[in-house]
Amino acid sequence: MTSLDSGQIITTGVLNVRKFEQRRTETLAIHELLDRTVTLPDGSLGTIYDLAMVQDSRRDWFISDLAVQEAGKRFGRRGPQHVFEWDEVSGVTSDETGQGATHLLAMMDEMRAADLANALRDLTPKRRVEVVTELDDERLADVLEELPEKFQVEILGVLDPGRAVDVLTEMDPDDAADLLAELPVATAEQLLAQMEPEDAEDVRRLLSYEERTAGGMMTTEPVVLPADATIAEALARIRNPDLIPALASMAYVCRSPLETPTGKFLGVVHFQALLREPPSTLVGAIVDNGIDWPRPGASLQHVANLLAAYNMVALPVVDENSHLLGAVTIDDVLDHLLPEGWRESDPDTGQSSVGEPGAEEVTAHD
Q: How confident is the model at residue 93 (pLDDT cuts 50, 70, 90)?
A: confident
Residue of 333 and 96 predicted with greater confidence = 333
Give the whole-angstrom CA distance, residue 140 versus residue 171.
9
Q: How many CB atoms lie within 10 A of CB 48?
A: 22
Q: How confident is the model at residue 98 (pLDDT cuts 50, 70, 90)?
A: confident
Residue 365: what pLDDT?
Answer: 44
Q: How confident is the model at residue 359 (pLDDT cuts 50, 70, 90)?
A: very low
Q: With 60 as the cut, is the pLDDT of residue 366 above it? A: no
pLDDT in tens, 247-300: 999 999 999 999 999 999 999 999 999 999 999 999 999 999 999 999 999 999
Residue of 120 and 26 predicted with greater confidence = 120
Q: Name the amino acid, one letter, at 141.
A: A
Residue of 294 and 365 predicted with greater confidence = 294
| DSSP-derived 3-state class of residue 102 | helix
pLDDT in tens, 75-86: 667 788 999 999
**If you average pLDDT over every residue of the chain, what do you get?**
88
pTM metric for this prediction: 0.78
- Total residue length of the chain: 366
Residue 348: what pLDDT?
Answer: 53
Exposure b/e, 283-292, CB count within 10 A at least 16 = b: beebbeeeee
* Mean pLDDT, residues 210-225: 95
33 by Cβ neighbours in 10 Å (0-12 / 13-18 / 19+) ranks as buried
Spatial contact of 162 and 194, defined as CB atoms under 8 Å apart: yes
Which one-letter DSSP state was computed for residue 131?
A: H
Q: List the chain domain ranges.
A: 28-100, 111-208, 224-337
What is the residue-wise DSSP string for 160-217? -HHHHHHHHHHS-HHHHHHHHHTS-HHHHHHHHHHS-HHHHHHHHHHHTS-TTBHHHH
Q: How many CB atoms lie within 10 A of CB 232?
A: 13
Q: With 90 as the cut, is the pLDDT of residue 56 above it? A: no
- Helix and strand element counts for the chain (H, E): 14, 13
Orientation of helix 149-158 relative to helix 113-121, angle to 10°: 80
Give me the CATH topology for the region 111-208.
Answer: MgtE N-terminal fold (1.25.60)
pLDDT in tens, 109-139: 889 999 999 999 888 889 999 999 999 999 9
* Mean pLDDT, residues 184-196: 95
Residue 75: what pLDDT?
Answer: 63
Q: With 60 as the cut, is the pLDDT of residue 105 above it? A: yes
Orientation of helix 113-121 relative to helix 125-134, angle to 10°: 150
Exposure b/e, 303-338, CB count within 10 A at least 16 = b: bbebbeeeebbbbbbbeeeebbbbbbbbebbeeeee
Q: Which CATH number fits domain 224-337: 3.50.50.60, 3.10.580.10, 3.40.190.10, 3.30.70.270?
A: 3.10.580.10
5 by Cβ neighbours in 10 Å (0-12 / 13-18 / 19+) ranks as exposed
Give the whole-angstrom CA distance, residue 274 versus residue 168.
33
